[in-house]
């Protein structure tokens, strides 16, 4: 049996959300265990290029930020959630500055440099050149690794949440702890806790092509679902319109800010096409731009379209996009003189585990924040640079709610150790590898940018077959990192497909050939999936 929980908090995920929550709790005197599957540099937060949306000038307003978010969300945002996030944006930027984040400044001044991205009516993107996420992670990592109250367990992946319902206990369903797999030792440890924060990021790795790192396997969403939490709006998977098209680039992201600073999308012959799809052209929201590129590629039989900012002065391009420019050079492209080949790729999970504005889920003591959660901020589409903002605001909300509670007064329950007595070492790892590939290809082919009921039903059939295979494999063999992630991805894939089949309209990121029109906004509803009792 596991040792009863003390006053510590478990945080699952080593990105900006997990680190922010850990620091907030530790600075207030709470002990924290932070689980990270891979090095902190392999979190989605570290790959974020654009920045953080926040009202920082007198010419801008929270009301304008809210309105831009509501427009991008295509009628499905929760206005209260949008207002909450936008109102706390400036304080979040100031908190990050206090942690040592070096945001880009205006020339020879202390004023923060603000850029503009698609869907924003004002320049309000606080950034660190074109590598904002990496700079935030650098600063937070330094603080986390030097905080004696934060125990970082690297190369650990949480297998599942332990709950009172799973233990057959009476009363409300509450979290009791976790099973965590130590990848170095190959062992599963049982760790008790009265509070757990899921900060695991999104699930874009469910698709064949993604801008996300390999860690984005939907772990938190799948674990919360199995624990008894509702999930919402999983059909709204955002495809970033401009990822570098190169066999070795692994879908390297070309920031939205490139279009914000004048970059044009063109066909191989140099013809601009975005004005045919939306009057905002390159500054239209991402779902519109991604669909436009997908349409032009299919119409012309193209491998890619092109993003061209070479008309801007070379010094301007290198100054604003030093990291993107350098990375493109490594792949043989000079963005100061030539257009970059780009394609859409899965980028952001707009749905997730349902929470309130304190990040509380349906299971007592269990919190979810950041990309794995759904608070109603993003609606049917995410406005650029609201994601890092949500990470900071909601991580602090989760921590603040926990700090208001005396966890030591919560009744403890003895937890069983992980049982491996009935399993053996896997005999054919190739089964897991093949299932990984089959799942991601089926999702790309049938549940991508443009969908139909027929495609979704094909994907549903394949996913159910894969689930059976994985369930049998999981029951009979010792687990490893790949099997844990594959199990979670198949769960998330089913949630995405079932959500997509329920939505009988095209809205935001969900476009279906069977229902190409959008319902009136007053008829718009969230797609909520409830666990089977």
For tokens 């301007």, name the residue: 316
- Per the CB < 8 A criterion, the answer to whether 150 and 22 are in contact is yes
Active site annotation includes 286? yes
- Cα–Cα distance for residue pair 162/130, rounded to 1 Å: 40
Rounded to 10°, the helix 89-98/387-403 angle is 80
φ, ψ of residue 28 in degrees (nearest 5): -95, 5
Task: Tell the residue number behind the tokens 């990496």, with chain if given.
Answer: 134
- Joined together, the tokens standing for residue 24 give 């907030």
For CA atoms 57, 60, 62, 67, give the dihedral sign: negative
Helix (H) or strand (E) holding 415: none
Quote the tokens at residue 126.
Answer: 């606080």
- Listed in sequence order, the residues at least 6 apart from 290 whose beta carbon sits closer than 8 Å to its beta carbon are 238, 239, 240, 241, 344, 449
**Residue 281 Rama label (left phi>0; alpha psi -120 to 50; beta):** left
Q: Are 241 and 344 in contact (CB under 8 A)?
A: yes
Of 365, 30, 301, 331, the residue nearest 172 (C-alpha): 365
State how far the alpha carbon of 423 is from the alpha carbons of 193, 231, 318, 477, in Å: 27, 31, 56, 5
Question: 10 Å Cβ neighbour count for 110?
Answer: 6
Please pick, among 24, 259, 286, 327, the residue that the annotation labels catalytic: 286
CA-CA-CA-CA dihedral for 502, 505, 508, 510, to nearest 10: 50
Q: Which two tokens stand for residue 133?
A: 């996420």
Please name the residue that has the structure tokens 């004002």. Answer: 122
* Dist CA 138 CA 140 (whole Å): 6
Cite the active site residues.
286
């Amino acid at each position: 049996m596991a040792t009863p929980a003390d006053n510590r908090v478990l945080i699952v995920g080593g990105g900006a959300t997990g680190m922010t929550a850990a620091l907030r709790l530790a600075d207030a005197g709470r002990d924290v265990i932070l689980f990270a599957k891979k090095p902190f540099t392999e979190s989605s937060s570290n790959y974020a290029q654009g920045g953080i949306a926040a009202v920082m000038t007198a010419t801008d307003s929270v009301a304008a930020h809210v309105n831009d978010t509501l427009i991008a969300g295509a009628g499905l945002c929760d206005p209260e959630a949008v207002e909450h996030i936008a109102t706390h944006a400036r304080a979040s930027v100031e908190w990050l500055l206090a942690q040592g984040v070096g945001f880009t400044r205006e020339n020879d001044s202390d004023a923060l440099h603000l850029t503009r991205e698609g869907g924003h009516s004002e320049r309000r993107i606080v950034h660190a050149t074109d590598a904002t996420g990496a700079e935030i992670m650098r600063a937070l990592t330094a603080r986390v690794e030097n905080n004696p109250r934060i125990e970082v367990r690297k190369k650990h992946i949480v297998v599942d949440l332990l709950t009172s319902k799973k233990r057959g206990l009476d009363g409300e369903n509450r979290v009791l702890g976790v099973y965590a797999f130590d990848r170095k030792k190959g062992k599963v440890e049982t760790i008790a806790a009265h509070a757990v924060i899921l900060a695991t990021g999104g699930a874009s790795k469910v698709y064949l092509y993604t801008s996300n790192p390999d860690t984005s396997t939907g772990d938190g969403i799948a674990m919360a679902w199995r624990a008894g939490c509702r999930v919402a709006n999983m059909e709204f998977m955002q495809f970033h319109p401009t990822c570098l098209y190169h066999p070795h680039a692994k879908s390297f992201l070309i920031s939205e800010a490139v279009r914000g600073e004048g970059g044009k999308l063109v066909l191989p012959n140099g013809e601009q096409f975005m004005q045919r799809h939306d009057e905002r052209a390159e500054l239209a929201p991402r779902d519109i731009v991604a669909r436009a590129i997908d349409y032009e590629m299919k119409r012309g039989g193209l491998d890619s379209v092109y993003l061209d900012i070479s008309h801007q002065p070379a010094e301007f391009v290198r100054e604003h996009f030093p990291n993107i420019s350098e990375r493109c050079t490594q792949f043989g492209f000079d963005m100061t003189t030539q257009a970059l080949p780009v394609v859409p790729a899965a980028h952001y999970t707009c749905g997730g585990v349902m929470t309130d504005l304190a990040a509380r889920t349906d299971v007592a003591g269990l919190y979810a924040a950041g990309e794995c959660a759904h608070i109603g901020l993003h609606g049917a589409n995410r406005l650029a640079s609201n994601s890092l903002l949500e990470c900071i605001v909601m991580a602090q909300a989760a921590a603040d709610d926990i700090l208001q509670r005396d966890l030591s007064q919560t009744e403890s329950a003895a937890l069983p150790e992980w049982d491996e007595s009935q399993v053996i070492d896997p005999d054919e790892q190739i089964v897991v590898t093949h299932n990984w590939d089959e799942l991601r290809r089926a999702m790309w082919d049938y549940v991508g940018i443009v969908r139909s009921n027929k495609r979704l039903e094909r994907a549903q059939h394949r996913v159910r077959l894969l689930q059976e295979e994985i369930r049998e494999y999981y029951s009979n063999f010792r687990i490893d990192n790949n099997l844990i992630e594959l199990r979670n991805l198949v769960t998330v894939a089913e949630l995405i497909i079932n959500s997509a089949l329920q939505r009988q309209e095209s809205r935001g990121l969900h476009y279906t050939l069977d229902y190409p029109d959008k319902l009136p906004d007053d008829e718009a509803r969230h797609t909520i999936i409830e666990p089977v009792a």
